[in-house]
């Protein structure tokens, strides 16, 4: 058990919500849920129960918080006492995360990195369908870990820096019960007449799908569009259509990934403006990710 986990529990209890506590703590909801789960496993009992009104403390959870609050108060007072009176301004980092970060198991390493850097206040932005490159240019993000759209050549832009971290083959994502799930590969022509599942209209995912269908003269039955990757993969699992994505989605979302022919490769990229690359905290984070992905 760590003091940080204790503080997390008290924040969740005060808001009766993991998602609201995560926003306050500048954590992703999944990272905070993971910390809570680890603590409960160590304690041997549940701290919260889910009700119609949100999370409620269990009897053991209430006892935990009653004993934890004085500890937290004393800890905060201790920190104020021993820290410098005038601290430098905290570094703030707004980091856009694409779905490939999670399916490749990279997020826990990212969370661990920032856990060891309390001087950096990090905000994870995970909005599906968001144009990460445009957000970088507008100054809404400091950097992004995502793919570059197949139809764009923005990595060649004088203002944009992009370096590949993880390279994956593009696949057709199918329900495990789909008869084509056992194929060694699928050609674009095999998508003729299919129902496709894609991101929001004009998102990077949607543009890539449209360009591929246009390039290979494929006519489809219809398109289901959604702003969430979890919803998209649920539709795939339920056999409502097929999607295009990396092989790593197969295990992560419990679908089948059949490689596309001709081969198409897409990389998870570290993307930022050249002007931001000069910031020491971004350069150090890039070096860390490059090392992690290489290993």
Domains contained in the chain, CATH given: 3-82 (1.10.10.10), 91-166+267-294 (3.40.190.10), 168-266 (3.40.190.290)
* DSSP bridge partners of 168: 266
Q: Does the global pTM surpass 0.85?
A: no
Contacts of 107 (CB under 8 A, 6+ apart): 28, 30, 31, 97, 101
d(CA 22, CA 203): 26
In terms of DSSP bridges, do strands 265-273 and 256-261 run parallel, antiparallel, or are they unpaired? unpaired
> Could you state, in chain order, the average pLDDT of each consecutive group of 10 residues for the chain (295 residues)?
91 90 83 90 93 88 94 88 64 92 94 92 85 87 84 56 92 95 94 93 82 91 91 95 94 95 92 90 94 87
The pLDDT of residue 84: 62
Give the 3-state DSSP-derived string for 220-252, with helices as H, strands as E and coil as C.
CCEEEECCCHHHHHHHHHCCCCEEEEECCHHHH
Contacts of 82 (CB under 8 A, 6+ apart): none
């Amino acid at each position: 058990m760590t003091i940080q986990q204790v503080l997390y529990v008290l924040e969740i209890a005060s808001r009766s919500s993991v998602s609201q506590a995560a926003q306050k703590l500048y954590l992703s909801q999944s990272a905070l849920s993971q910390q809570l789960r680890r603590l409960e496993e160590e304690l041997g009992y549940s701290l919260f129960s889910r009700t119609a009104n949100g999370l409620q403390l269990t009897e053991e959870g209430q006892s935990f918080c009653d004993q934890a609050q004085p500890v937290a108060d004393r800890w905060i007072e201790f920190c104020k006492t021993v820290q410098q009176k005038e601290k430098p301004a905290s570094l703030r980092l707004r980091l856009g995360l694409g779905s490939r970060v999670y399916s490749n198991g990279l997020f826990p390493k990212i969370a661990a990195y920032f856990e060891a850097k309390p001087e950096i206040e990090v905000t994870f932005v995970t909005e599906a369908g968001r144009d990460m490159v445009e957000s970088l240019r507008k100054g809404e993000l400091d950097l992004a870990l995502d793919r570059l759209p197949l139809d764009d050549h923005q990595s060649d832009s004088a203002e944009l820096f992009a370096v590949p971290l993880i390279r994956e083959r593009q696949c057709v994502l199918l329900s495990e019960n789909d008869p084509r799930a056992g194929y060694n590969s699928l050609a674009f022509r095999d998508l003729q007449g299919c129902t496709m599942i894609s991101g929001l209209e004009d998102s990077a995912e949607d543009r890539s799908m449209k360009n591929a269908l246009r390039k290979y003269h494929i006519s489809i039955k219809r398109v289901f569009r959604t702003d969430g990757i979890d919803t998209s993969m649920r539709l795939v699992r339920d056999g409502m259509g097929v999607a295009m994505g990396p092989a790593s989605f197969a295990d992560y979302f419990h679908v089948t990934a059949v490689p596309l022919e001709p081969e198409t490769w897409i990389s998870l990229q570290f993307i930022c403006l050249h002007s931001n690359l000069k910031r020491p905290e971004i350069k150090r984070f890039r070096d860390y990710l490059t090392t992690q992905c290489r290993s």
